[in-house]
Amino acid sequence: MRRAVGGFARLLEETLVNERSAEAPGLLQSLDARAKALGLVGLIVIATLLQRPVALGLAYVLSLLLGFASRLPARRLARVWLTVPLFSAAIIAPATLNVITPGPALLVLWHPAHHHLGPWALPPAVTITTSGLVVAGRFLLRVGVCVTLALLLAATTRPDRLLRGLRALGVPRVFVLLLGMMERYLSVFLRSAQEIHLARLSRTARLGSTRREQAWVAAGMGSLLRRTQALGQAVFHAMLSRGYTGEARLLDPPRWGAQEWSFLAGVTCLAAALVRIG
Amino acid sequence: MEAIFAVEQVHYAYPGEGPSLTDISFAVAPGERVALLGANGSGKSTLLHLLDGLYFAQQGTVQAFGQTLNEAALEGTPFAQRFRQEVGFLFQNSEAQLFSASVEEEIAFGPLQAGWPSEEIHARIADTLGILEIPHLRPRVPQRLSSGEKKRVALASLLVMSPSVLLLDEPTAGLDPRSQSLLLEALEELHRAGLTLVTATHDLTLLPHLADRALVLSEDHRLVSDAPAEETLADTALLLSVNLIHAHRHRHGALLHEHPHQHVTGHEHPHAHESDQRD
Amino acid sequence: MHIPDGYLGPQTYAPAFAVMGGFWAIASVRLKRALRLRQVPLLALGAAFSFVIMMFNVPIPGGTTGHAVGAVLVAIVLGPWAASIAVSLALILQALLFGDGGITAIGANCLNMGVVMPFVGWGVYRLVAGASPAHSARQWLGAAAGGYVGLNAAALSTAIMFGLQPMLARDAAGRALYCPFGLHIAVPVMALEHLLVFGWVEAAATGLVVAYLQRAAPEMLPYAASQQARFSRRAVVTRLAIGLGVLVLLTPLGLYLPNALRAGSAWGEWGSEEIREEVARETGGQGYVPAGLERAEKAGWKAPLPDYALPGQASASLGKLSFSYILSGAIGVAGLVLLTLATRRAWARKDEGGTAGLDAHSGQT
């Protein structure tokens, strides 16, 4: 139960931390969200195309530099490795073995007594191969680079501006409108969901049987769903009342300046260089 | 002069529920200040929604500016556009009313829907923020504001369209005293400038500030009174019968006193009774 | 089940985006036609709700907790098309703002959790709950079943995406560039996880919430009986029939693909001849057939359409076999349909007592 509260609290905390870092006077923060989204997502795509670990390493260094230039503390950039990359490491570990990635053996682990494990054939020796290490290392490095770049985007941009910036990536206006409203109602929800959980916690530590706990979680989700519908109806009326006719219309965003263009130019050059390397 | 609203024998019930309004008829002339009084659940909020064309009466007609309000009339017609600009609805729940990313965008919503050119929009936004004395709130996120600020932003988002009618649903609910008095002042000024106001409330203390005329809805969803505000306030029997004020019962020895109590400022509660001395 | 960046190569994630783009376009058009203006705020809130659902920890027997996705639940309440948009929005936001799921993988994640899951799960729910009234047990049973099947379907499509990577993307030295685990690993592992654990979490979450709604807010179940059902029974049956027909016509693929890929029979599904070959391959020499197996084969049931072919066709050409396949498929489907109808008639007599007398609760959404 505390884990659930922890989950919400973590999300709220993350949101707050992002808000703070988005206000800092750094490089990425000063850019218009659309240019930033284009540049950073472009770099993520490039990262998924790179093959040589050297190129990936350079890409990581680049993302670190961008992070420092945007006043992101090194701790935060490092902590990113404890999220997705951590479980990715666990997942990719078996790929170092010769049963997955054949190749020159580096370290012999085990000589199996039998030739088969169920339907799968086992080799005479199970080893860690160099190829396996390359595959796993490259995989992890790529995951790390992408996660860092994604953090840069989220931590240096106000959520509403970021969602608006998606227009530059071709996302249709209706989606941007929906995403924006959704993000705002999320904080309302997270707070209500947290209240539900805390109210529960304050009464008893455990309801006892799994079934009762399940029923409680279900009721929580159910009442949240009802509140969703009620609020949806109310918002719809508010929009209708101000003349909503079904078309998504947004205020014109500010124009791009030299900063944005030079950022994109820089990113393009670096991306080309990276692709050239590997 | 043509009435702004003309309501004729309107009945309304929410799908699957009992009646919400029964046989309501009245009219509102331009420039009037009308209050809809009633206990919770008497249907005043529903009536406002009907006046704004958000719900449509199942029986009877609701006319605004001479046009009957029904789905066809309000579906993308020129009348619909004009109607939406002329009539502003201040909802009770600010959470639902403020749905944009920044105050600036919130206020821009109406003008954007109406298709105004963007310079005009920016100019109008600046004007409206100035009038309500909240220019500092321009880049803020509406959901994070205090309740008083939220109400002012909501009002700004309506006023930017220069409406001629304002519908208000419990406008002072949840506001601190200062915000409340600021709002009431703003509404009085707007009325002086010629706006028609229709306010739904169960708070009798607001009546003298908000309305010259009061329509009272009973708990069985009927219109039981349509009279000037002062008269209505003085009619304690009526107010008791519709649950707008409560009655006190005191025991003094063997005697049981019952008298109505209005929590209206300036009203004295006579504590002393001759019977007290008998104990 | 959120796929991060780096697990899928552009050969997979780019087409996924293309497919999703088409899908979103179709979904928006459909919604605009059916619901008109109302869907904008409702969708945004449905998406927010979907997001929050993914954060609730659902307790499972054994004292641990698991996460649910909730896509089928949203489909039951809003319909599958609206649900696909709501879940897509939630996934997009999770990826962008919270790093949950990769940005390049958004298309793929939306395909798995936003298309496969709600549609399959909703279909199963409709199959089980049918036209039963809002208070019937079939509603929450259908919901739970829908949740379980939907999640496993999504797990399967995710596993397939993973499993295809080593085949699709290798570097010059033949090493896998993205997820290095082939289908033979990805599919069993994900299937096991979701059939044994996460499927039940999803089933519990979906079923319990629907049960709660049945009591507290039955008007939120638009597919229960006596609603103006958007999908008439005839439409559903027609669609099913067309779908089945297409599948039956596609069955010869089961002949051509193994031939093209030079695969043997499915592991464990050997007749006596094939056993002899397998044994020969493993141990060298002539191979043999275990005596017990031989006895069972001689004495056992002689199927009328052995291996889905007409008798005597064991070594006929692929073309002729294809025809027999299709015929077998048709016979099989017809037989099942008749059996199901007969069972349903017997069951319906018990259940349908409660349909009369429910008010039409439509209108508010």
Please tell me the distance from the alpha carbon of residue A142 to that of residue A52, in angstroms, as a whole number: 10
Task: Please check whether residue C365 lies inside any domain of the structure.
Answer: no
Say which of A164, A241, A251 has its CB closest to residue B54: A241
Task: Please check whether residue C364 lies inside any domain of the structure.
Answer: no
Domain CATH code at residue C191: 1.10.1760.20
Q: Which residues of C touch A45 (CB under 8 A)?
A: 10, 104
Task: Please check whether residue C91 lies inside any domain of the structure.
Answer: yes
User: Do C255 and C199 fall within a single domain?
Assistant: no
Say which of B95, B105, B161 has its CB closest to residue A251: B105
Task: Please check whether residue C335 lies inside any domain of the structure.
Answer: yes
Phi-psi region of B169 (alpha: psi -120 to 50; beta: other; left: phi over 0): beta
| Residue B49: per-residue pLDDT | 93
Q: Which of residues 216-245 of C touch B (CB under 8 A)?
A: 219
Per-residue pLDDT tens digits for C234-286: 666 666 666 676 676 667 666 666 666 666 666 666 667 777 777 777 776 77
| Residue C91: per-residue pLDDT | 92
| Residue B214: per-residue pLDDT | 92
Please tell me the distance from the alpha carbon of residue B102 to that of residue A111, in angstroms, as a whole number: 65
Please tell me the distance from the alpha carbon of residue C223 to that of residue A125, in angstroms, as a whole number: 58
Per-residue pLDDT tens digits for C293-345: 777 777 766 666 666 666 655 556 666 666 666 677 777 777 777 777 777 67
What is the chain B residue with the closest CA to C40? B99
Average pLDDT, chain C: 77
Contact A243 B85 (CB under 8 A): yes
What is the chain B residue with the closest CA to A244? B113
The single-letter code of the amino acid at A77 is: L
Strand partners, B217: B38, B223
What is the chain A residue with the closest CA to C6? A143
User: Do C88 and C165 fall within a single domain?
Assistant: yes
Residue A119 has pLDDT above 80, yes or no: no
Residue B89 has pLDDT above 90, yes or no: yes
Average pLDDT on A92-115 reads 79
User: Do C136 and C172 fall within a single domain?
Assistant: yes
What is the chain B residue with the closest CA to C38? B54
Structural domain including C120 reads 10-227
Of the listed ranges A106-115, B85-94, C156-165, the one predicted with least confidence:
A106-115
User: Do C76 and C199 fall within a single domain?
Assistant: yes
User: Do C205 and C256 fall within a single domain?
Assistant: no
Average pLDDT on A246-273 reads 82
Average pLDDT on B20-30 reads 91
Q: Which residues of C touch A147 (CB under 8 A)?
A: 4-5, 99
Task: Please check whether residue C190 lies inside any domain of the structure.
Answer: yes
Of the listed ranges A95-99, A239-243, C146-150, the one predicted with least confidence:
A95-99
Please tell me the distance from the alpha carbon of residue B187 to that of residue B198, in angstroms, as a whole number: 11
Which of C12-16, C81-85, C325-329: highest mean pLDDT? C12-16
Q: Is B45 an interface residue toward A (CB < 8 Å)? A: no
Of the listed ranges A13-27, C117-131, C181-195, C341-355, the one predicted with least confidence:
C341-355
Q: Which residues of B touch A234 (CB under 8 A)?
A: 91, 93, 95-96
Task: Please check whether residue C314 lies inside any domain of the structure.
Answer: yes
Q: Which residues of C touch A232 (CB under 8 A)?
A: 41-42, 44-46
Three-state DSSP state, C287: coil
Of the listed ranges A5-9, A164-168, C116-120, the one predicted with least confidence:
A5-9
Q: Which chains are within 8 Å of B by 3+ CB pairs?
A: A, C
User: Do C29 and C166 fall within a single domain?
Assistant: yes
User: Do C74 and C128 fall within a single domain?
Assistant: yes
Q: What's the total number of domains in chain C?
A: 3
Mutate to test the interface with A, among B113, B119, B150, B157 (most CBs of A within 10 A): B113
Contact B16 C361 (CB under 8 A): yes
Check the CA dihedral B230-B236-B239-B243 and report its sign.
Answer: positive
What is the chain B residue with the closest CA to C41? B99
Task: Please check whether residue C210 lies inside any domain of the structure.
Answer: yes
Q: What is the DSSP string of C91-160?
A: HHHHHHHH--S-STTHHHHIIIIIIIHHHHHHHHHHHHHTT--TTSHHHHHHHHHHHHHHHHHHHHHHHH
Mutate to test the interface with A, among B109, B119, B122, B161 (most CBs of A within 10 A): B109
Q: Is C51 an interface residue toward A (CB < 8 Å)? A: yes
Q: Which residues of A touch C114 (CB under 8 A)?
A: none
* Cα–Cα distances in angstroms (integers) from residue C274 to residues A121, C295, C307, C315, in the given order: 19, 16, 14, 14
Q: Which residues of A touch C209 (CB under 8 A)?
A: 218, 221-222, 225
Contact A138 C51 (CB under 8 A): no
Chain centroid to CA A7:
16
Q: Is A121 an interface residue toward B (CB < 8 Å)? A: no
Contact A242 B109 (CB under 8 A): yes
Contact C209 A222 (CB under 8 A): yes
Contact C219 B99 (CB under 8 A): no
| A167 secondary structure, DSSP code | G
Q: Give residue A103's pLDDT band: very low, low, confident or very high (50, 70, 90).
A: confident
| Residue C8: per-residue pLDDT | 92
Distance from the B89 Cα atom to the nearest Cα atom in chain A, whole angstroms? 7
Q: Is A111 an interface residue toward B (CB < 8 Å)? A: no
Q: What is the DSSP string of A122-166?
A: PPSSEEEEHHHHHHHHHHHHHHHHHHHHHHHHHHTS-HHHHHHHG
Q: Which residues of B touch C360 (CB under 8 A)?
A: 15-16
Cβ atoms C22, A172 nearer than 8 A: no
Q: At what angle do helices A130-155 and A53-69 cross, to 10 degrees?
A: 20
Say which of C37, C92, C102 has its CB closest to residue A244: C37
Say which of C32, C48, C61 has its CB closest to residue A186: C48
Full set of structural domains in chain B with CATH: 5-227 (3.40.50.300)
Contact C55 A7 (CB under 8 A): yes
User: Do C219 and C290 fall within a single domain?
Assistant: no
Cβ atoms A177, A250 nearer than 8 A: yes
Q: Which residues of C touch B99 (CB under 8 A)?
A: 41
Residues 6+ positions from A158 with CB-CB distance below 8 Å: A19, A22, A33
Residue C123 has pLDDT above 60, yes or no: yes
Per-residue pLDDT tens digits for A172-227: 777 777 887 787 777 667 766 667 667 766 766 555 666 677 777 777 777 777 77
User: Do C199 and C106 fall within a single domain?
Assistant: yes
C266 by Cβ neighbours in 10 Å (0-12 / 13-18 / 19+) ranks as: exposed
Contact A232 C104 (CB under 8 A): no
Residues 6+ positions from C82 with CB-CB distance below 8 Å: C27, C31, C35, C39, C42, C43, C46, C74, C75
Distance from the A185 Cα atom to the nearest Cα atom in chain B, whole angstroms? 8
User: Do C276 and C220 fall within a single domain?
Assistant: no
Contact A244 B101 (CB under 8 A): no
| Residue C351: per-residue pLDDT | 53
Q: Give residue B275's pLDDT band: very low, low, confident or very high (50, 70, 90).
A: very low
Task: Please check whether residue C199 lies inside any domain of the structure.
Answer: yes
Please tell me the distance from the alpha carbon of residue A169 to that of residue A40, in angstroms, as a whole number: 11
Contact C360 B15 (CB under 8 A): yes
Q: Give residue C151's pLDDT band: very low, low, confident or very high (50, 70, 90).
A: very high
Q: Give residue A89's pLDDT band: very low, low, confident or very high (50, 70, 90).
A: confident
| Residue C217: per-residue pLDDT | 75
Q: Which residues of A touch B102 (CB under 8 A)?
A: 160
Per-residue pLDDT tens digits for A248-259: 677 777 778 888
Among C227, C248, C278, where does a domain finish?
C227
ipTM: 0.84
User: Do C26 and C149 fall within a single domain?
Assistant: yes
User: Do C175 and C254 fall within a single domain?
Assistant: no
Q: Is C26 an interface residue toward A (CB < 8 Å)? A: no
The model's pTM is 0.71
Cβ atoms B123, A264 nearer than 8 A: no
Distance from the B16 Cα atom to the nearest Cα atom in chain C, whole angstroms? 6
Average pLDDT on C162-183 reads 86
Please tell me the distance from the alpha carbon of residue A69 to that of residue A205, in angstroms, as a whole number: 46
What is the chain B residue with the closest CA to C44? B99
Per-residue pLDDT tens digits for B187-205: 999 999 999 999 999 888 8
Contact C45 A231 (CB under 8 A): yes
Q: Which of A38, A244, A216, A259 is nearest to C204 (CA)?
A: A216
Chain centroid to CA C50:
20
Average pLDDT on C17-39 reads 76
Three-state DSSP state, B252: strand
Cβ atoms A259, A228 nearer than 8 A: no
Contact B15 C362 (CB under 8 A): yes
Q: Which chains are within 8 Å of C by 3+ CB pairs?
A: A, B
